[in-house]
Structure 1
């Protein structure tokens, strides 16, 4: 069991970095680039891979919440634009909460994930209806400010997963599967 958790953590860490690199490259090159289709595919597969690996790392802390977070990551992979970002933020919120709940990563890091995700869960729908500069535009400083805590969290988490892995759930910190 220990080995599989560490493998899932390392795969998730690498995938976070691949996802972030593909996303930033895609934004930089724009939709008209010949590489945009490949970058979108990398992002979709990354979302699915993260969903599966994070589910494997968190289901013992709450099966229903982990399934819901996995479902959000699947929805993120098949959506695009603002709706994908909302599914992403909800999935991230629940996975971060479960990582915190299981003490799988340092508490401070898990709280950064919970707070960064919650910020997105609140702000992104408000942007959809016209607040904070309107729909998510990367030309808007509000968009960058809202996403910056998530970027810090995910890059830090990626390196943590790749270098340290996760704390293995024990009987004491395994919680109800609700």
Structure 2
């Protein structure tokens, strides 16, 4: 495949990846609003088509990450094969980690309707499971964000060395990627206090 074709494929995939992530994240946040886990699960049960769309978008990001990994590797391997391979590995792992929230969404589609009709101990069990699945969404970001950041930093560094992109832009990408690697894991320790979608979203856009 010609280098220009690979570059176009990578650019299109990147735009699709970001768009799908933003739409899916915002839609999921609206669907899971509510005071308490019971209200959140009831809201999910009432918006099954929208949750299904979130699942599909998240599923597509898995393939987008893999396609982007191959495209960027093809563009950077001639400059530094070792770093390009490491960055490729990070992107592949990122794609695999995207399967975690997709699986959790699929489980929520099953748990939410049951929780809305259950009573007593069954309701408590469904609520506990639903709460764990919702928390899993945030945990998956905390794990995948550093992997994403390392991969992006490596790609930008190699692209800067190859002078494939303007140096200032490339090193800004490296810096924002490093900030992503540092900031997201510090949130559970309450060293950095912010909602993860805001940090992850802003830094992710700037590090691509």
- Range into which the TM-score falls when normalised by the shorter chain: 0.7 to 0.9
Larger Rg: 2
TM-score normalised according to structure 2 size: 0.64
Aligned partners of 1:153, 1:66: CA distance in 2, in Å?
A: 16
- Report the counterpart of residue 165 of structure 1 in structure 2: none
> CA, structure 1 residues 124+153, in 2 after alignment: closer, same or farther (shift >3 Å)?
closer
Q: Which runs of 5+ in 1 are unaligned?
A: 139-143, 155-178
Which residue pairs with 1:24 in the alignment? 22
Equivalent positions of 1:23-172 (< 5 A) are 23-30=21-28, 32=44, 33-79=51-97, 80-133=140-193, 137-138=196-197, 144-145=198-199, 147-152=201-206, 154=208
Task: Measure the CA separation in 2 of the matches of 1:22 and 1:145.
Answer: 17
Cα gap change, 1:53 to 1:128, in 2 (>3 Å): farther
Per the normalisation by structure 1, the TM-score is: 0.75
Task: Give RMSD over aligned pairs.
Answer: 1.9
Which structure's residues are more often helix, by fraction? 2
In structure 2, the partner of 1:5 is 3
Give distance in 2, aligned partners of 1:100 and 1:93. 10
**When the two structures are aligned, how many residues end up with a matched partner?**
146
Deviations 1:73-124 (A, max 9, x none): 0100011422111111110010110000111111122112111111111212
Is residue 145–residue 181 contact of structure 2 (8 Å, CA) maintained in 1?
A: no
